[in-house]
């Protein structure tokens, strides 16, 4: 009887171990994405204004990817945070791992296929009020790991998005648009950036999918 019990327990342990091997870890996402209700409230609190100062925008006015911990810069830190099974070398460059791009649903194992997207593009931030910031604040914005500003996504999807706001570009994965809108609104609200009327209308529509 004791022998049978031991075999049964061993079988259960073996089965559990097999399940652990089969189940893939859930990939992380940027922090502090607000709830639907909070996003609606924060969208309504944003100043609605036309964009300005576009002609004076320069990407170099937003210093990024800065070193944030050890040998890791901001880009590498996001790759570590948002990937699955990520290992890095002494220079913090990923040597293994996988990344699922929430914008298009694609999964990549080569970090060169992954871009780090600024949810609210730098030029969009500039035209929405960042033109008046100090360089230090723009650096903080461009390297913000504390909110939903930085996302690991398919490189050519990020390039397709460019500096567009939700009025002219939205993720092809429709089920992600609710999250996208909530993250976009959080960034604009946290940094006291304005929205234009077309952008607000698009965000309202996206929240309608939540």
**Tell me: the pLDDT tens digits for 96-139?**
999 999 999 999 999 999 999 999 999 999 999 999 999 999 99
Q: Where are the alpha helices (DSSP H) in the chain?
A: 2-22, 36-45, 74-82, 122-127, 135-142, 155-161, 177-190, 197-207
Residue 33 sits in which domain range?
A: 29-207
Assess if residue 144 is contained within a domain.
yes
Assess if residue 5 is contained within a domain.
no
**pTM over cut 0.75:** yes
Number of domains composing the chain: 1
Assess if residue 13 is contained within a domain.
no
Assess if residue 19 is contained within a domain.
no
| 98 bridge partner residues | 84
Assess if residue 24 is contained within a domain.
no
| Residue with the two structure tokens 């810069």 | 73
Of the pLDDT bands very low, low, confident and very high (cuts 50, 70, 90), residue 1 is very low
Assess if residue 11 is contained within a domain.
no
56 φ/ψ angles, rounded to the nearest 5 degrees: -100, 5
Judged by average pLDDT, the poorest of 11-20, 23-32, 130-139, 178-187 is 11-20
Assess if residue 121 is contained within a domain.
yes
Of the pLDDT bands very low, low, confident and very high (cuts 50, 70, 90), residue 22 is very low
88 φ/ψ angles, rounded to the nearest 5 degrees: -130, 160
Assess if residue 4 is contained within a domain.
no
């Amino acid at each position: 009887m004791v022998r049978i019990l031991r075999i049964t327990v061993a079988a259960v342990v073996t089965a559990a171990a097999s399940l652990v091997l089969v189940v893939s870890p859930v990939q992380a996402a940027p922090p502090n994405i607000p709830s639907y209700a909070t996003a609606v409230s924060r969208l309504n609190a944003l100043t609605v204004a036309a964009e300005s100062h576009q002609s004076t925008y320069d990407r170099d006015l937003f210093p990024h990817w800065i070193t944030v911990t050890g040998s890791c810069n901001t880009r590498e830190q996001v790759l570590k945070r948002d990937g699955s099974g990520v290992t890095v070398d002494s220079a913090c460059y990923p040597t293994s791992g996988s990344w699922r791009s929430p914008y298009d649903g694609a999964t990549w194992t080569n970090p060169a296929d992954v871009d780090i997207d600024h949810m609210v593009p730098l030029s969009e931030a500039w035209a929405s009020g960042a033109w008046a910031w100090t360089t230090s604040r723009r650096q903080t914005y461009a390297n913000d790991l504390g909110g939903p500003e930085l996302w690991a996504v398919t490189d050519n999807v990020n390039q397709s998005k460019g500096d567009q706001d939700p009025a002219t570009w939205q993720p092809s994965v429709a089920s992600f648009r609710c999250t996208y809108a909530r993250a976009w609104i959080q960034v604009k609200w946290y940094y006291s950036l304005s929205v234009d009327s077309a952008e607000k209308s698009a965000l309202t529509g996206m929240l309608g999918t939540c």
